Amino acid sequence: MKILTLLLIAFQCLVAPFAFGDDEEKKIAEAMPGKPTVKPKKSHKILVYSKPSGFRHGSIPTGIKGLRIMAEKTKAFEATFTLETTEFTKKGLAKYDMIIFNNCTHVQKAFTEQAQRDAILGFIKSGKAFAGFHSASDGGMPQWQEYTDMIGGCFAGHPWGAGGKWPFFVEDPKHPVNKAFKDKEFTFSDEIYQYKGYDRSKLRILIGLDSVKSGKKGNSKTNDYPVSWVRSYGKGKIFYSNFGHNKATWWTPYMLQHFLDGIQWALGDLDGPSESVPQSKNTK
């Protein structure tokens, strides 16, 4: 039964990028930006890894569809989709400009060989790009502390569940990756994490959750709950967003624009700072 379940998961994830005409795909295509935010400086190739090694999110195939349609419609990049770890070697990654981890929990269980781990982190440090969505941060420590250090934090629970509608604020209104958000405060339904191993001084927080308005208390003494951020890592750049648990996130126009801008920023096409900024609200 376990083998059958794994085969079904693999089939669903692999078929999703090539399924045309379903309702999800239509909604994603209608919501997707029609062109890149800025013209790519070169032809970019991205490797998208989507296999969970822990909890499996039902939105994984939706995210695959979203990233495939983003590539096809905007032409900002070319995407290769995989559930395998075989390409994650120094030689295998050499043909790519970016790695995307799409909702893949517990990556420390998928990449157990030190050579693989070194290849991934070395790829970014050398000047390449990385983007992660939602549970890409549900992994790393303590077995792979360096991964947590790279992405910026590790899942430590989600007081703000997927069925709620939560208050968010744009912490860095002038950053180009935040251009999709027309208001400085907004509400949205998705599952939002609190973190361990999080250090604000290493990240530039773009979107934050307003825990005071939410009525829920998390693990931060200063009510610091980042949702989307960017950072530099060696010579490379990283974009991460906690959004993406709910399928509907992947057909929300301003979220897709935010994701596209984050990807283009990490690829070096969109200019914007990565230095940390002080927490702007809810410090007590």
DSSP letter string, the chain:
-HHHHHHHHHHHHHHGGG--S-HHHHHHHHHS-SS-SS--SS--EEEEE---SSSPPTTHHHHHHHHHHHHHHH-S-EEEEES-STT-SHHHHTT-SEEEEES---HHHH--SHHHHHHHHHHHHTT-EEEEEGGGGS--TTTTHHHHHHHT-EE---SB-TTSEEEEEES-TTSGGGTT--SSEEEEES-B--EES--GGG-EEEEEE-HHHHT---S-TT---EEEEEEEETTEEEEEES--SSGGGGG-HHHHHHHHHHHHHHTTSS----S-----S---
Site of tokens 């970019």:
44
Is residue 4 pLDDT above 70, yes or no?
A: no
Is residue 7 pLDDT above 60, yes or no?
A: no
Q: How far apart are CA 283 and CA 223, in angstroms?
A: 6
What is the torsional sign of CA 80, 85, 88, 89? negative
| Average pLDDT, integer, range 257-274 | 98
277 falls within a domain = no
Q: Are 105 and 55 in contact (CB under 8 A)?
A: yes
Domain count, the chain: 1
pLDDT at 283: 61
- In this structure, what CATH number is given to the domain that contains residue 43? 3.40.50.880
Question: What pairs with residue 205 in β-bridges?
Answer: 229
pLDDT, tens only, 86-125: 999 999 999 999 999 999 999 999 999 999 999 999 999 9
Grade residue 6 by pLDDT with cuts at 50, 70 and 90. Answer: very low
Q: What pairing do the DSSP bridges indicate for beta strands 78-82 and 45-49?
A: parallel
| Average pLDDT, integer, range 191-208 | 97
Question: What pairs with residue 129 in β-bridges?
Answer: 98, 237
28 falls within a domain = yes
What is the torsional sign of CA 15, 256, 133, 242? negative
132 falls within a domain = yes
Cβ count within 10 A of residue 89? 16
pLDDT, tens only, 11-37: 455 444 444 468 999 999 999 999 999
pLDDT at 80: 98
pLDDT, tens only, 133-143: 999 999 999 99
23 falls within a domain = yes
Grade residue 168 by pLDDT with cuts at 50, 70 and 90. Answer: very high
Q: Which residues contact 34 (CB under 8 A, 6 or more apart)?
A: 73, 74
Q: How far apart are CA 13 and CA 249, in angstroms?
A: 18
212 falls within a domain = yes
pLDDT, tens only, 228-257: 999 999 999 999 999 999 999 999 999 999
In the chain the first and final C-alpha atoms are separated, in Å, by 50
274 falls within a domain = no
pLDDT at 55: 81
133 falls within a domain = yes
Cβ count within 10 A of residue 130? 23
pLDDT at 54: 85
| Average pLDDT, integer, range 123-152 | 97
Domain span at residue 212? 2-266
Is residue 72 pLDDT above 60, yes or no?
A: yes
Q: Are 147 and 183 in contact (CB under 8 A)?
A: no
